[in-house]
RNA sequence: CGGAGCGUAGCGCAGCCUGGUAGCGCGUUUGGUUCGGGACCAAAAGGUCGAGGGUUCAACUCCCUCCGCUCCGACCA
């Protein structure tokens, strides 16, 4: 491709719309242009890179035995009613009506469509296992589209679905996809690591997310350097603290650790206006860990209390899973008033008449401070065992750096990551709704066991840039680069140089090498800057000066120095170099 | 949905407080000098100042409403 004839426009300034580096670079290098919030056009350069990612995914899916299909993005809402997700996906789904007033949805994902499809196509165990996939545009009415392609309203996703005869067989399908994912991200030049994850609204029992480590990532990742345990913060567990609880009432500075003494009797303290932990820390002049926070939740509409240490946060995902609930939300003021008999800010576990779950770290908790269920009042010397009736002690809080690993007990770290892929074991959640059954070898009808597997294709592309760039621009891995080679024609008016470039371009094209020829009437400096910005892995400079010295200059985006290569050897040198670069990414 | 900020030429921004001829840099076009890491000189094109309403002799500027974009939050008692 000739630059002078293409729609490649680079920008000198960072776009005002972008916050994170990969987003800025995508716009500056002319890969994408914004239409509106969360909606982007792929420009020629961006689309080429996107196709490279798609093709890698396609090859690895095919290798893993999955078959490519293409399902409609426009779907009847009735399908979603059958699975019950019309309600749970709620406002996240784009809905519209056709001219017959039938409610339709723009597919945010395809479990319903594919299960309906396979329920019709598969009759016998002989047809199983079966894994299908598609690469397609998805639509989600995101609360807050962000960071360019990272969280968009319309994006491209690879979604795959496996169907098996048994849980064990489904495990094998899951493993095949898991392995394929590892290969895909490796081939994309990404350092992506699998972590245990929550399953969310999609349902199912178990899942792994593939995370690209990046400070700009939207997810927290808990990670144990000692044993390799890694989990999304939403799911991450921690080992029980085991008797190392801080006890002692801060009003009695010399208090003996609670475990070895009996707790003083309950006492009320007037705490006017002290509603938050911060207020209380100031009031009692002690650490937040001396308090027990009492959170009143509505769990599927019923009030439930959760007790967590004052310095910790409740993990709603864990709480929801623990209770097997569909919906967990903080109770409104009226409910809190009704349940506790006090305004918001003074709830406590003593005397509460609703189910009360406490974090496992509070087991044996003695001599803590809690709300008194009475306006402007807190209780001191609270002993959970003596003074309250806790329904159960469970792991309820958001794990953070410094907590103990649930596997080995060593100290956990916290990092941030971009979720580029997610693999789920769904079980029979959807096959039940759609009666997706087959006949087994004894002629009996059984439900198929499902798995589903997603990769955010557009997000993966941006994650590559987020992870691979420098101050001058993008550094593409050869596998996803829009062009393997940028060939800079430094003297477009010099017929000799032009002839060399023409010949080299042709030779490369014949060998299947993607080459972008910068034939613009620009000064060399502009071309060098732009070549760095768009970040193709190999730069070839053809100029009168170089030719006089014996050839063209070949330089990697990642290195400072170039090699002067005679023109007649240039094409071979380049193809060998590309082979080497590609090989370094293959598993 | 709550909070904050922003909307002026293709892009990045100033002007607004204190109302009175719409500006700068980049980019674009033309001519010239340049030519190996974002050149220089000269000329030119390009804007109903997000939209609507109000105040005023006069509104980019002040007031109101709406729309769009970006960021933070949407759970901490």
DSSP for A428-488, written as a single string: THHHHHTT-EEE-TTS-EEE-EEEEEEEEHHHHHHHHHHHSEETTEE---TTT-S-SEEEE
Residues A65 and A133 reside in one and the same domain: yes
Residues A491 and A347 reside in one and the same domain: no
Residues A493 and A441 reside in one and the same domain: no
Nucleotide with smallest C1' distance to residue A319 CA: B75
Is it the case that residue A242 has pLDDT exceeding 50?
no
- pLDDT tens string A132-154: 999 999 999 888 888 999 999 99
Question: Does A419 fall in a domain?
Answer: no
Ranges A396-405, A413-422, A576-585: which has the least confidence: A396-405
> How far is Cα A114 from Cα A480, in angstroms, rounded to an integer?
29
Residue A472's CB is within 10 A of a number of other CB atoms, namely 14
- Decide: CB of A556 under 7 A of nucleic strand B: no
Question: Does A416 fall in a domain?
Answer: no
Residue A228's CB is within 10 A of a number of other CB atoms, namely 11
Give me the pLDDT at residue A247, please.
34
Residues A451 and A530 reside in one and the same domain: no
Question: Does A420 fall in a domain?
Answer: no
Give me the pLDDT at residue A353, please.
86
- Residue whose C-alpha is closest to residue A131's, from A119, A146, A144, A118: A118
Q: How far is the CA of A194 from the C1' of B31 (A)?
A: 61
- Decide: CB of A244 under 7 A of nucleic strand B: no
Residue range(s) defining the domain that contains residue A457: 17-190+428-465
Cβ < 7 Å from strand B, A residues 2-31: 10-17, 19
Give me the pLDDT at residue A250, please.
31
pLDDT tier at A6, thresholds 50, 70, 90: very high
Give me the pLDDT at residue A249, please.
30
Residues A384 and A272 reside in one and the same domain: yes
SS3 at position A32: strand
**What CATH number is associated with residue A114?**
3.30.930.10
Q: Is the ipTM of this complex over 0.90?
A: yes
- Decide: CB of A298 under 7 A of nucleic strand B: no
Is it the case that residue A259 has pLDDT exceeding 50?
no
pLDDT tier at A258, thresholds 50, 70, 90: very low
Residues A28 and A175 reside in one and the same domain: yes
Residues A64 and A139 reside in one and the same domain: yes
Beta bridge partners of A32: A42
Cβ < 7 Å from strand B, A residues 414-473: 472
Question: Does A211 fall in a domain?
Answer: no
Q: How far is the CA of A279 from the C1' of B13 (A)?
A: 44
- pLDDT tens string A80-97: 999 988 887 777 889 888
Is it the case that residue A500 has pLDDT exceeding 50?
yes
Closest residue (Cα, C1') to B7: A16
Query: Quick one: which H or E segment has residue A356?
Result: strand A356-359
Closest residue (Cα, C1') to B39: A523
Nucleotide with smallest C1' distance to residue A317 CA: B75
Give me the pLDDT at residue A200, please.
67
Q: Please give the residue that has the higher pLDDT: either A53 or A350.
A: A53
- Residue whose C-alpha is closest to residue A161's, from A426, A439, A440: A426
CA distances to A222, A398, A420 from A317, in Å? 15, 9, 20
Nucleotides of B under 7 A from a protein CB: 1, 11-13, 25-27, 34-39, 68-77
Question: Does A227 fall in a domain?
Answer: no
SS (H, E, C) A144-158: CCECCCCECCEEEEE
Give me the pLDDT at residue A309, please.
86
pLDDT tier at A198, thresholds 50, 70, 90: confident
Question: Does A356 fall in a domain?
Answer: yes
> How far is Cα A287 from Cα A393, in angstroms, rounded to an integer?
23
Q: What mean pLDDT, rounded, does chain A reach?
A: 89
A299's tokens: 């769990």
- Decide: CB of A40 under 7 A of nucleic strand B: no
- Mean pLDDT of the region A64-79: 96
Residues A384 and A509 reside in one and the same domain: no
Give me the pLDDT at residue A334, please.
78
Residues A382 and A490 reside in one and the same domain: no
Q: How far is the CA of A143 from the C1' of B1 (A)?
A: 9
> How far is Cα A451 from Cα A79, in angstroms, rounded to an integer?
19
Is it the case that residue A205 has pLDDT exceeding 70?
no
- Decide: CB of A322 under 7 A of nucleic strand B: no
- pLDDT tens string A463-499: 999 999 999 999 999 999 999 999 999 999 999 999 9
- pLDDT tens string A341-394: 888 888 888 888 888 999 888 888 888 888 888 888 888 899 888 888 888 888
% pLDDT > 70, chain A: 95
Q: Exposed, middle or buried by CB within 10 Å (0-12, 13-18, 19+), for A246? A: middle
Name the packing angle between helices A567-585 and A495-510 (round to 10°): 40
Nucleotide with smallest C1' distance to residue A330 CA: B75
**What CATH number is associated with residue A385?**
3.90.960.10
Residues A266 and A303 reside in one and the same domain: yes
Ranges A234-243, A268-277, A340-349, A499-508: which has the least confidence: A234-243
Number of domains composing chain A:
3
Give me the pLDDT at residue A422, please.
93
Q: How far is the CA of A16 from the C1' of B23 (A)?
A: 20
Give me the pLDDT at residue A351, please.
87
Closest residue (Cα, C1') to B12: A13
A503's tokens: 């010949």
Residues A389 and A525 reside in one and the same domain: no
**What CATH number is associated with residue A506?**
3.40.50.800
Question: Does A410 fall in a domain?
Answer: no
pLDDT tier at A125, thresholds 50, 70, 90: very high
- Decide: CB of A191 under 7 A of nucleic strand B: no
Residues A179 and A56 reside in one and the same domain: yes
Question: Does A402 fall in a domain?
Answer: no
pLDDT tier at A202, thresholds 50, 70, 90: low
């Amino acid at each position: 491709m000739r630059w002078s004839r293409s729609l490649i426009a680079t920008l000198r300034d960072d776009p005002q719309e972008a916050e994170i580096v990969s987003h800025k670079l995508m716009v500056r290098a002319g890969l994408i242009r914004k239409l509106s919030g969360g909606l982007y056009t792929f420009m020629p350069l961006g689309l080429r890179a996107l196709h490279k990612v798609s093709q890698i995914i396609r090859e690895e899916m095919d290798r893993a035995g999955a078959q490519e299909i293409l399902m409609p993005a426009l779907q009847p809402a009735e399908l979603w009613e059958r699975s019950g997700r019309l309600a749970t996906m709620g406002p996240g789904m784009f809905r519209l009506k056709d001219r017959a007033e039938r409610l339709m949805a723009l597919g945010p994902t395809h479990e319903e469509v594919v299960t309906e499809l396979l329920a019709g196509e598969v009759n016998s165990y002989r047809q199983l296992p079966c894994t299908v996939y598609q690469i397609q545009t998805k639509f989600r009415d995101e609360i807050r589209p962000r960071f360019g392609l990272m969280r968009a309203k319309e994006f491209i996703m690879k979604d795959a679905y496996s169907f098996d005869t048994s849980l064990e067989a489904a495990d094998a399908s899951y493993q095949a996809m898991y392995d394929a994912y590892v290969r895909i991200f490796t081939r994309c030049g990404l350092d992506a690591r699998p972590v245990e994850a929550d399953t969310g609204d999609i349902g199912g029992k178990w899942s792994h997310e593939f995370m690209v480590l990046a400070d700009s990532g939207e997810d927290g990742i808990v990670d144990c350097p000692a044993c390799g345990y890694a989990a999304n913060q939403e799911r991450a567990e921690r080992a029980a603290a085991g008797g190392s609880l801080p006890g002692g009432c801060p009003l009695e500075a010399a208090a003996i650790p609670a475990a070895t003494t009996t707790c003083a009797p309950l006492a009320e303290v007037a705490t006017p206006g002290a509603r938050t932990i911060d207020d209380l820390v100031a009031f009692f002049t002690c650490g937040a860990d001396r308090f027990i926070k009492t959170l009143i939740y509505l769990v599927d509409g019923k009030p439930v209390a959760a007790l967590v240490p004052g310095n910790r946060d409740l993990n709603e995902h864990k709480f929801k899973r623990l209770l097997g609930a569909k919906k967990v939300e903080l109770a409104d003021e009226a409910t809190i008033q009704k349940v506790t008999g006090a305004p918001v800010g003074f709830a406590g576990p003593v005397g509460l008449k609703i189910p009360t779950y406490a974090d496992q770290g509070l087991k044996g908790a003695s001599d803590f401070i809690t709300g008194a269920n009475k306006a402007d009042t807190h209780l001191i010397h609270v002993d959970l065992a003596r003074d309250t009736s806790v329904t159960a002690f469970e792991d309820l809080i958001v794990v953070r750096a410094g907590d103990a690993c649930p596997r080995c007990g060593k100290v956990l770290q916290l990092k941030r990551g971009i979720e580029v892929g997610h693999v789920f074991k769904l079980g029979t959640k959807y096959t039940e709704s759609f009666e997706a059954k087959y006949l087994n070898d004894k002629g009996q009808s059984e439900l198929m066991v499902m798995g589903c597997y997603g990769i955010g294709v557009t997000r993966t592309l941006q994650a590559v840039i987020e992870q691979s760039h420098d101050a001058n621009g993008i550094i593409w891995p050869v596998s996803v680069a829009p062009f393997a080679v940028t060939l800079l024609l430094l003297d477009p008016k010099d017929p000799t140089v032009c002839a060399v470039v023409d010949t080299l371009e042709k030779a490369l094209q014949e060998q299947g090498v993607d080459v972008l020829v910068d034939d613009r009437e620009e000064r060399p400096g502009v071309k060098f800057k732009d070549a760095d910005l768009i970040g193709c892995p190999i730069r070839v400079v053809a100029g009168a000066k170089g030719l006089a010295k014996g050839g063209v200059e070949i330089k990697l985006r990642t290195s400072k120095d170039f090699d002067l290569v005679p023109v007649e050897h240039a094409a071979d040198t380049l193809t060998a170099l590309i082979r080497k670069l590609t090989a370094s990414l293959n598993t």
